[in-house]
Amino acid sequence: MIKIVNKILGIISIPFALIFVVIVRLISPIIIIRWCAIISTRLGHFAENTNIYLSEKQLGKHYIKGKIIFDIFYFYPKICNYQLAKMFKRKILVLPYFFMNNVNYINEFIINKVFKSNLHDIGYYRNEEDLKRIENTNINSLVDGIKKNLLFPPLSPNDSLNAQEQAKINIFFTQREINNGNSILKNFGIDTKKKIVGIILRDNDYLKENYPKIDWSYHKIRHSDFSYYSECAEKLASLGYQVVVFGERQKKFKNKNIINYTNSSIRSDFMDIYLSSKLNFAISSANGLDAIPIIFKIPLIEVSVAPIILIRPYTSKIKILFKTYYSKTLKRKLNMEEIFKFKLHDLQGKDLSDEIEFIHPSSKEITSAALEFHDELSNNFEISEEEKILQNNFKTKYKKLVETSSEDRNLNNFTASIGKLFLKNNSYLVN
């Protein structure tokens, strides 16, 4: 029914969309109106891509001297989290999909037929320097520019300017939402005055259930299960943490301080966001929900990242443990130079040969990384000179290999850290 209504409204809005585009083009010498679809169907992209834009905007990275920039957004018909959508609407202008989709199609037609550049896609430029790159190019060159990292794709998931590290938190809860969230947690038995850590597991069934016609098998290498995290959960619980597990649908825990949120009575779009914002730190198996701690500047351990190009290097509040590459032919793990040399750094799914097996970080490595954050929060964290050198060597080598091997990846600063025990156990990566 909703699809039919949207189609009808879309047809009705076509002439209004045409008038809108004409006006936008006429006023563009003075006022540039930009627009972009937000990927509202996938929580990770929905949250972090939008937050990167808000952070860049907050830091003044989107401007053109002498011109006014006005940005408009629209969500796809399917919204993965309505609470997050509500919170973003407090910060940005969001117009209906049926109208803006027509605007986008009409504008693209005009670009191809009349104009040689597109100033109206959010992300194609951030300032005057970026604008100069695209003023005199045609639409095909724009695409080539994006591939060569000369331009910025709309709402990029790559925080190349480290904007989230520098900016203040962009979204907020109303007082009513705070009161409601605290009341729900109290009644459920979670005390927000005590330390809370979240273990956020990838829900392997989510995409299958919501998009059954799409083959999501390429995500298989990112899968992880609770068995890798049980030792860590028990250790943190013994230290006084309330350990909340996200993404585990079936398992029940004997330890009263280890709580299964996913199959609980309080699970909702609102609590997904609110509870995630109350964590002292989070441990994630590289999934969409881990973007919520990031946008609330909560320390995060990324555990089962794969392929290696997907690690988040851009904030000091992130600690990384990724899956390593094992060659069945060579009968050993591959170092970073080999991973990039054989162009395995961004391959997954069908593009990845059976020759490669991914090795998950061990339970001890995960627990060690969690204790690092525990020590940091307790002001007891120490790092030796040897560990500092190993960290710097890894970051230097990774940054160099990314810059020379990935045209669509812009990596300025590597402020995240690698788990100490994980890096020590895998020091071959930088040798």
Provide the residue-wise pLDDT of the chain in tens; the chain has 431 residues: 667 877 888 889 999 999 999 898 888 888 889 898 999 998 999 999 999 999 999 998 887 777 888 999 999 888 999 999 999 999 999 999 999 989 988 887 776 566 555 567 676 566 666 666 555 544 444 444 444 444 455 688 888 888 999 999 999 999 999 999 999 999 999 998 899 999 999 766 555 555 556 555 555 666 678 899 999 999 999 999 999 999 877 678 889 999 999 989 999 999 999 999 999 999 998 888 999 999 999 999 999 888 898 889 988 999 999 999 999 999 999 999 999 998 888 876 565 678 888 999 999 999 999 999 999 888 888 899 999 999 999 999 999 998 888 655 666 788 999 999 999 999 999 87
Crossing angle between the packed helical segments 97-113 and 2-12, to the nearest 10 degrees: 50
pLDDT at 213: 60
Angstrom distance (rounded) from CA 325 to CA 333:
5
Q: What CATH number was assigned to the domain covering residues 175-430?
A: 3.40.50.2000
Single pTM value for the model: 0.88
pLDDT at 53: 94
Domain positions in the chain are 2-166, 175-430
Angstrom distance (rounded) from CA 401 to CA 307:
14
Q: Are 276 and 292 in contact (CB under 8 A)?
A: yes
Angstrom distance (rounded) from CA 273 to CA 292:
7
Angstrom distance (rounded) from CA 334 to CA 429:
7
Lookup: tokens for 252: 């029940």
159-179: pLDDT as tens digits? 888 899 999 999 999 999 999
Angstrom distance (rounded) from CA 414 to CA 159:
11
Angstrom distance (rounded) from CA 352 to CA 339:
12
pLDDT at 207: 55
Question: Residue 376: what residue type?
Answer: E
Question: Residue 238: what residue type?
Answer: S
Show the DSSP H helices in 158-289 as ranges.
Answer: 163-166, 175-188, 206-210, 230-238, 269-277
Task: Transcribe 226-238 into DSSP letters.
Answer: GGGTHHHHHHHHH
- 3-state percent breakdown (helix, strand, coil) of the chain, nearest 5: 45, 15, 40
Q: Of 6, 16, 239, give the one whose Cα is nearest residue 106.
A: 16
Taking residue 397's Cβ as centre, other Cβ atoms within 10 Å add up to 17
Say if strands 242-246 and 196-200 run parallel, antiparallel, or are unpaired: parallel
Strand partners, 300: 282, 318
| 410: Cβ contacts below 8 Å, ≥ 6 apart | 149, 158, 160
pLDDT at 146: 42
Q: Are 340 and 334 in contact (CB under 8 A)?
A: no
| Residues 332, 338, 341, 343, CA torsion sign | positive
